[in-house]
Amino acid sequence: MASSAPVRALWRNRRMRTLFAGELVSRVGSLMSTLVIGFLAFDETGSAFWAAAVAAAYAIPSAVFSLPAGAIAGRMSPRRLVFISQTGAFVTISVLAVAALAGGTMLPWLVAMGVLSGIFSALTFVAWQEVIHEVATPDELMAAVSTNATLTNIARLSGPLLGGLVFVQFGAAAVFLVDAGSFLPVFAVLGLVPAVARPTARDPAASRPSLREALAVARAHPGLRWTLLLVAVAGVLAGPLSWLLAPLARDLGHHDAHELGLLMGCFAVGSIAELGLVSQTGRRIRISDMVRISYFVMCVVLLVLGAEFVLVVVAALLVVYGLARTAGRSVLLTAVHIAAPDRYRDQLIGVYGFLDTALTVVAALTWGLVADAIGMTRTTALAGALLLLAVAAFALRDKFANLDPPDVAAVPRHLHPLDWEHQAWRLTRGVHRRADESATRQPGSGSRGASRPTRR
């Protein structure tokens, strides 16, 4: 793989290109339906509460079932689980298409199918990460995880646009049918893309650990423990911004529909640009440095958004914020992939998904309440100040260093796995290493350093 362009090399790999092409089609179809579902919920009720309730009907089960999804993924083939969960999602969207064709009120169907879709989404997230892990080589892993995140943001940018065009021309049922058809490439990809042979492949016959055991491993593992804490901190203090762009635009005086669309598009553009950032810096910057920079940039943007700016400045800030937020999430998820032992990886990816989704949903509701009281711009600035304090605390206590291994020469240049050596073990190894170095410097050892007289 060319060291200067890992992402281009990844896409030259037919195996990965086929995998991600099928996933992109499916995600665009899903985002087409997301737009129509939100519109139908508000159009039928005229209530923002019910529009939010339909969104929560999807988000809450997706967060809650992320934890058991890890245990389920550990007990069956990840491809089989993706097939089952995608089949379930295919059935739910087909039911919505039939309900739309039949006419009548859609709200009960939207809520019920939203709950089921959230459950299937949680299962798919964990299982799909495992599929990526088994298809990508170690040198491709960071680029693969980053590309997977970028596909979601490309779908967020293009899916609603296509969904709106189809909805205006042909109606809601047509959008749901297109979404149902978008699952077919995923089913084809699961059968066509082979896995990469790994010397540490999991034994299906082996007993799978419980979630409690996986959490115990995460607590004892310095890198994993602080990685998951960083995910939680960002979910509370940074994640809700993308959910609350409408009140932010209102407070800044940019409340027209086309202005809000521009701001949402700029956030998505920044998220897509993250792939280029990772491809250019992934071989030169450690995980700890990339996370530190991403979180600091998010602090600055949140603080600056607390002031009044013209539209073009706010749009530029959201591009930067989308880039930093997505880069931080991709790098931390890559860290979980690398650091988690094979036996516990499914459960810990599920924990990552739970923290990233559940805390963001709860924090978005809290942000909304605070914004109603003091305004969205002040809420954003307050979150930025708290995030800056958290980043400073991590830096002062040197916790970012836990994200890097003590000996990076032993791993691929663009991957810097988490250090999951205990401190006592590292100190012991350091003592042995110093003893070995002292032995090689003894007279008669043949080293150039030993024959050179000591300067006084």
Tell which residue, 153, 178, 152, has the closest CA to residue 165: 178
Question: Contact, 183 vs 23, CB < 8 A?
Answer: no
Q: What is the mean pLDDT of residues 147-172?
A: 81
Interhelix angle for 78-102 vs 107-135, to 10°? 160
- The pLDDT, as a whole number, for residue 384 is 93
Q: What is the mean pLDDT of residues 322-347?
A: 83
Question: Contact, 73 vs 130, CB < 8 A?
Answer: yes
Q: Which of 129-138, 231-240, 416-425 has the lowest mean pLDDT?
A: 416-425
Tell which residue, 351, 331, 68, has the closest CA to residue 216: 351
Question: Contact, 287 vs 334, CB < 8 A?
Answer: yes
Interhelix angle for 107-135 vs 66-73, to 10°? 40
The class of domain 209-425 in CATH terms is mainly alpha
Angle at 39 between CA 316 and CA 161, to 5 degrees: 50
For tokens 């490439």, the residue is: 185
- DSSP sequence for 33-91: HHHHHHHHHHHHH--HHHHHHHHHHHHHHHHHTHHHHHHHHTTS-HHHHHHHHHHHHHH
Rounded CA separation 66/353 (Å):
6
Domains 9-196 and 209-425 share a fold: yes
Question: Contact, 344 vs 221, CB < 8 A?
Answer: no
Sign of CA dihedral 248, 252, 255, 256: negative
- The pLDDT, as a whole number, for residue 415 is 37
Q: Could you report the per-residue pLDDT of 21-51, keeping only the tens digit for each?
A: 888 888 888 888 887 887 787 778 766 567 6
Question: Is residue 433 scored above 60 in pLDDT?
Answer: no
Rounded CA separation 389/8 (Å):
38
Interhelix angle for 14-45 vs 172-181, to 10°? 160
For tokens 């989404």, the residue is: 121
Question: Contact, 298 vs 387, CB < 8 A?
Answer: yes
Max mean pLDDT among 162-166, 209-213, 259-263 falls in 162-166
The confidence band for 355, taking pLDDT boundaries of 50, 70 and 90, is confident
- Domain 9-196: which topology? Growth Hormone; Chain: A; (1.20.1250)
DSSP annotation of 148 reads H
Element (H, E) at 93: helix 78-102
Question: Contact, 370 vs 151, CB < 8 A?
Answer: no
Question: Contact, 69 vs 350, CB < 8 A?
Answer: yes
The amino acid sitting at 180 is A
Q: Could you report the per-residue pLDDT of 206-229, keeping only the tens digit for each?
A: 556 777 888 888 888 878 888 899
Is residue 205 classed exposed, middle or buried when 0-12, 13-18 and 19+ CB atoms within 10 A define those classes? exposed
DSSP annotation of 405 reads -
Distances (CA, A) of 45 to 48, 105, 107: 8, 10, 8
Kindly list the domain boundaries of the chain, sorted by start residue: 9-196, 209-425
Rounded CA separation 374/372 (Å):
6
